[in-house]
A = this chain, B = another copy of it.
Amino acid sequence: MPQDSPMTAKPDRIRKGRKFDQVLEGARDIFLRDGFERASVDAIARAAGVSKATLYNYFPDKRLLFSEVLRRECDRQAGAALHEIDMAAPAETVLKSAARHIVSALLSEFNQAVFRICVAESDRFPNLGAAFYQSGPMRLRSEIAAFLREATRRGELSVEDETLAADQFAELCKADLYTRRVFRLDNGFAEDEIRRVIDGAVAVFLARYGTDRTRPPRLSPAAGP
């Protein structure tokens, strides 16, 4: 039973107030929508369904509220990883499904919003960039690198510099799509656009890092001329 009765014997409860989470949620909505500068504290309080006094009861100022919100969102983002992929499947299968996960995560509304804010505010909030990097790109890279190492051990791939290869793979997944999304030229992409990029990424990657077992027969236009 989800009883959140605020009286659990004594004030060993650190949680400063009943509406603490509401404040964070409202702040997240407004900050992600408007950015730090344009988000007004009044708007946040309104969105949180809370009075401004209550808000300032929890957080001493706007900056700290912002930092806390972004820190949490970075953590949240870190959860959405590639864990569910069956790393024991054939390399090409793993790469393809990883690519699909990466693409859809990168293009998601949420990731875009957090990315935008982190980029824009990274000078005023120096730790922000690092937080985002570690919660997103860095985790992704180490997961991919671990897989590459394992696949190399199995003889399916031949990767010496796993971190470089992992970065390359992630970058290949961005091709075109990400840029267009970041600059708001498109907000949705057709399935065949996505497949084109994913298949292209896997093909390029395997051409370089595949072994004889996994490298596809060269589909070069050598057939052509």
Residues of A near any B CB (own CB < 8 A): 35, 37-38, 115-116, 118-120, 122-123, 126, 129-130, 132-133, 137, 152, 155, 158, 160-161, 163-165, 167-168, 171-172, 174-176, 179-180, 182-185, 196-197, 200-201, 203-205, 207-208, 211-212, 220-222, 225
Q: Sample 5 A-B pairs with CB under 8 A, ordered by A number.
A: A37-B37, A37-B38, A129-B185, A160-B221, A163-B176
Contact of A122 among B123, B130, B176, B184 (CB under 8 A): B184
**Contact (Cβ within 8 A) B168 A164:** no
Chain B residues with CB under 8 Å of A164's CB are 175-176, 196-197, 200
C-alpha gap A37/B35 in the complex (Å): 10
Which 3 residue pairs across A and B have the least CB separation, nearest first?
A: A129-B183, A120-B120, A207-B208
Contact among B35, B179, B200 with A168 in the assembled complex (CB-CB below 8 Å): B200
Residues on B with C-beta less than 8 A from A201 are 168
Are B38 and A184 in touch, CB under 8 angstroms?
no
Q: Would you call A137 and B179 a contact (CB within 8 A)?
A: yes
Residue of B with least CB distance to A168: B175
Determine if A120 and B171 form an interchain contact, defined as CB atoms under 8 angstroms apart.
Answer: no
Q: Which B residues touch A168, using CB under 8 A?
A: 172, 175, 200-201, 204
Copies of the protein in its oligomer: 2
A116 to B182, CA, bound (A): 11
Which chain B positions have C-beta within 8 A of A35?
37, 120
| One of B38, B165, B180, B203 near A133 (C-beta < 8 A) | B180
Contact at B220–A133, with CB atoms within 8 Å? no
Query: A211 vs B219: C-alpha distance in the bound complex, in angstroms?
Result: 10
Closest-CB distance, A117 to chain B (whole angstroms): 8
- Across the two chains, which residue of chain B brings its CB closest to A128? B183
User: Once the chains are docked, how many angstroms separate the CA of A203 from the CA of B221?
Assistant: 19
Q: Which of B122, B123, B172, B180 contacts A172 (CB under 8 A)?
A: B172
CA distance A222 to B130 in the complex (A): 38
A198 to chain B, nearest CB (A): 11
